[in-house]
Structure 1
Amino acid sequence: MRKKIAAGNWKMNTTPAEGVKLVSEILGKVSEVEGDVELIVCPPYTHLATILDKVKGSRIMVGAQNCAWELSGAFTGEISITTLKEMGVTHVIIGHSERREFFHESDEMMLKKVRLTLSHGLIPIFCIGEKLAEREKGIQFEVVVKQMEKVVYQLSEDDLKKVIIAYEPVWAIGTGKTATPEQAQDMHGFIRNSISKQYSSAVANTIPILYGGSVKGANAKEIFSMPDVDGGLIGGASLSVSEYIEIAKSF
């Protein structure tokens, strides 16, 4: 059985005090989430230490929203994977569409980040997905497989088994648009089949693939019912305790 995952990406939202309040309220509701659903919160860097301390001993894991592509050095404003590991972070989001678009991160840089993350025992949540214009042209599958070829397919089989993939239809992030459950399944199924061809079906069936396009409590159950959708990388809805818990209960 693949992992069921509800990962909340807080992005550049909440102050440190607001972040502690949010995670404290989530902790108060965690008992409502039945089964072995993995709960991950990814706050801004400034909150990591206090939130890690707050969730200690609970089922909530803490991820970072990004990491540097080098271990140390003259990289002002970046954060090292060694720092994240020492703090107790377990996951790192890499290749988010916002990092690609606004910060012009290259495939080479993302591959370095994934390899560094894996080599230090942390789990990459690697993001892929197409823009609206690409979907309208009907080239969404070509775009996604190219993104995988540049990063995912550069990994050994053993390393790939440790990766979480998040499919983000970029056109559905923060726009209010959502892919239909069928559209989500079509892409998730394509991604899994592509991994199967590159590696094996045994490997492909171990990889959790999350949906990252405006998941809400109202649509999560239907989306998560699709056979190749293993959870969500949740943006805005993860800032609401009731929405995040409702999504986590949707499995």
Structure 2
Amino acid sequence: MSRKPLVSGNWKMHHTHLDAIAFVQKLAFSLDAEDHRRTDVSLHPAFTALRSVQTVLDADRIPVALGAQDVHWEQKGAFTGEISPLMLAKLNVSYVIVGHSERRQYFGETDETVSKKVRAVLAAGMTPIICVGENEEQREAGGAEDLVVGQLEAALRSVAPEAVASLVVAYEPIWAIGTGRTATPDDAQAMAAALRAAVVADHGSEAGAGVRIQYGGSVNPDNVADMLGGPDVDGALVGGASLDAEVFARLITQLRPG
């Protein structure tokens, strides 16, 4: 199965809604039809900018998907400060990042809450981008592959095989996020292959063939083509390099053949 690459820009806690509008307009001008034909692109602004980005994307018919950075697993309730899957779906959000390492590290996300969020996102008709990855200490101790595969298996508990086939998994080695360090292309491919093999073992060959696996961790225009060179690496979850429209566009255009 040929899997179209997905490049996702995670803005984290950057850009006001006005900044976001200007960014989207500039990005749209910088990409052409061939870029969109070859690569899916999603933008993940802060919650305060979602509506503004949605309006620009829809009004100008820009073929970029709207994404969110997080979600609560309940549809509604007394959860001050949280955003429900229903709220996101009503804004035409297509992709939701779930279990990002920063959510795990700073906000107490666990494999259990990640699993709840995955199921909630799917129930609302959106696609989760499930983040998995090891920190430097875990990598140096050995067993990183087992740890990362275990995170994915926990996230996919009780998810039907046909749903798994449409998912996105982002492998983000925590030691490479915001540090300027990156895993090698061989490292990225080896972990992506292990994750795909685990999906095949647990959910079947069709699910394994369909799931898209991104690499995330200091991805930039200079290394993105190499990092996505492996047969099991189907895209990138981009942090810092997604904050500037020109840089992000250049990153995307690096995936053109030749």
Q: TM-score, normalization: structure 2?
A: 0.94
Name structure 2 gaps, 5 residues minimum.
none
SS in 2 for 1:40: strand
Match of 1:242 in 2: 246
Q: Does residue 103 of structure 1 match 2:107?
A: yes
CA distance in 2, matches of 1:27, 1:43: 16
Contact 2:165-2:209 at 8 Å conserved across structures: no
Q: CA deviation at 1:70?
A: 0.8
Q: CA deviation at 1:84?
A: 0.6
Name structure 1 gaps, 5 residues minimum.
none
CA distance in 1, matches of 2:29, 2:40: 16
Deviates more, 1:238-247 or 1:70-79: 238-247
Give the counterpart of 1:145 among 137, 142, 149: 149
State the 4+ residue runs in structure 1 displaced beyond 4 angstroms: none
Contact 2:122-2:128 at 8 Å conserved across structures: yes
Match of 1:35 in 2: 37
Deviates more, 1:191-200 or 1:25-34: 25-34
Identity, % of aligned positions: 38
Give the counterpart of 1:120 among 124, 142, 164: 124
Match of 1:209 in 2: 213
Contact 1:81-1:117 at 8 Å conserved across structures: yes
Match of 1:136 in 2: 140
Contact 1:43-1:65 at 8 Å conserved across structures: yes
CA distance in 2, matches of 1:30, 1:97: 30
CA distance in 2, matches of 1:88, 1:203: 25
Contact 1:118-1:162 at 8 Å conserved across structures: no
Contact 1:145-1:191 at 8 Å conserved across structures: yes
Match of 1:14 in 2: 15
Q: CA deviation at 1:36?
A: 2.9
Match of 1:3 in 2: 4
CA distance in 1, matches of 2:207, 2:110: 26
Match of 2:62 in 1: 58
Q: CA deviation at 1:249?
A: 1.8
Q: Specify whether residues 34 and 42 from structure 1 end up closer, same or farther in structure 2 by C-alpha distance, changes over 3 A only.
A: closer
Give the counterpart of 1:162 among 150, 161, 166: 166
Match of 1:94 in 2: 98
Q: Deviations over 1:111-137 (max 9, x none)?
A: 111111101110100100001101111
Structure 1 vs Structure 2 CA RMSD = 1.2
Q: CA deviation at 1:34?
A: 5.5
Contact 2:165-2:206 at 8 Å conserved across structures: no
